[in-house]
Amino acid sequence: MSRQSNPISTEMSSGLWSTSPLYQNAVMDLDLAGTKMGIDPNVLERLKAPKRAMCVSIPVRMDDGSVKVFEGYRVQHNTTLGPGKGGIRFHPEVNLSEVSALAMLMSMKCSLVGLPLGGAKGGIRVDPRKLSRPEHQALTRRFTMEIIDMIGPEKDVPAPDIGTDAQHMAWMMDTYSMAKGFSVPGVVTGKPIEIGGSLGRPESTGRGVVYVVEHAIELLRKKKKANYNLKEMTAAVQGFGKVGAVAAYELTIRGCKVVAVSDFYGGIYNSKGLDIVDATEYMDKHHTLKGYPHGEPITNEQLIALNVDILVPAAIDGVVTRDNMKTVKAKIISEGANGPITSEAQSYLESQGVTVIPDILANAGGVIVSYFEWVQGMQQFFWNETEVNEKLAEVMLKSFNQVAGVADRYNCGMKTAALISSVERLSKAMLLRGLFP
């Protein structure tokens, strides 16, 4: 695939950005929310398509001397509220439609939690486990140069995602800075602390996932729908990476019994509760939970069907579908991943009385603290971790209460309520700015 010298328009793309189930689910959910709130149809139509997308080819000289060409993408869905914001993922299933869907979710997420940022996303179609460190660096730096005209502190600010981490952000920042001739820490977030990263950023998404679980329990208590106590509840976490591992730990230190966690290869189960710190150390050493001695092996499908109070799907999209939705027994689901529950499954679970905390709210902690990092980088004034966590908790609580209020007002589930709340703010801004020309 050759690099497009200019962003591709929606007409030129022939709808390629709308082919994935994730994108179709996002549009279906948006339609439902738009109908419920009576949104201006012109605004709704505009929100269904990305603002711009770039597809690039990334030639990399591999360790064996051969040159391999990878496919890369950067999509900006909506920048009405501010610069684009969204991660860069390295994954073998990355494609234009998936990245476009994730950019749309980022637009909704930033609007929902009140950030002056728009939605963007990027990715490279690659299996990161098969790359050496030098290959990772070469791939990241060349990709940065290919999309350099799209990104920048005032344009579009990438961050880590699946398959990438703080080191990748350091390489992106350095590459961008070398091209500009001076250090530009605000071009990415999720950087190492030593070069302008924010304290609390690596744990922020997982922490936010648990903050909203606590708020959901309190809300259910107030409505007298259940007498839940987190210290007496059980949980299962599907996905034991940057989000899932932190969420599992945060649940544990609050007294919740985490009985199962899983990774790409499968999971582990212990009815008495897992030692999350020990499991994390095992994962760091072996890069898999397979063979962990203090738990029984289970599949990801079995984990989703466990008889637990709380389920945290924190891996990839589309893990709860019409095929397995009736096996779910959890009473509260906090979506740590983007789009882990399909629209059909969402409707079914809500009809069964399950409280589903949607992705654009549940996993918003990452972009909230990314915003904090961006602000700190622009000002060159940094906060301590306590300040970061307090500000994160404040924004998450305000956003949760806002969604809960909209859900009551429109008599709908939290997913629809979150989208209504998000689109209300975004549509007002779009209408005020108008259509150019």
Catalytic residues: 121
How is residue 11 written in tokens?
């007409």
Q: Which parts of 228-325 fold into alpha helices (H)?
A: 244-253, 276-286, 300-304
How many Å apart are CA 340 and CA 300, to the nearest integer?
A: 13
Amino acid at 254: R
How many Å apart are CA 379 and CA 361, to the nearest integer?
A: 27
Cα 245 to chain centroid distance, Å, stands at 15
How many Å apart are CA 290 and CA 297, to the nearest integer?
A: 8
Length of the chain measured in residues: 437
Q: Which residues have a Cβ under 8 Å from the Cβ of 9 and sit 6 or more positions away?
A: 52
Closest listed residue to residue 84, CA positions, set 54, 106, 108? 106
How many Å apart are CA 148 and CA 150, to the nearest integer?
A: 5
User: Is residue 226 within 8 Å of 220, Cβ to Cβ?
Assistant: yes
How many Å apart are CA 340 and CA 236, to the nearest integer?
A: 14
What DSSP state is assigned to residue 257? E
How many Å apart are CA 245 and CA 283, to the nearest integer?
A: 10
User: Is residue 20 within 8 Å of 95, Cβ to Cβ?
Assistant: yes
- Strand order across the beta sheet in which 84-91 lies: 52-61, 67-78, 118-125, 84-91, 156-160
How is residue 161 written in tokens?
């995602």
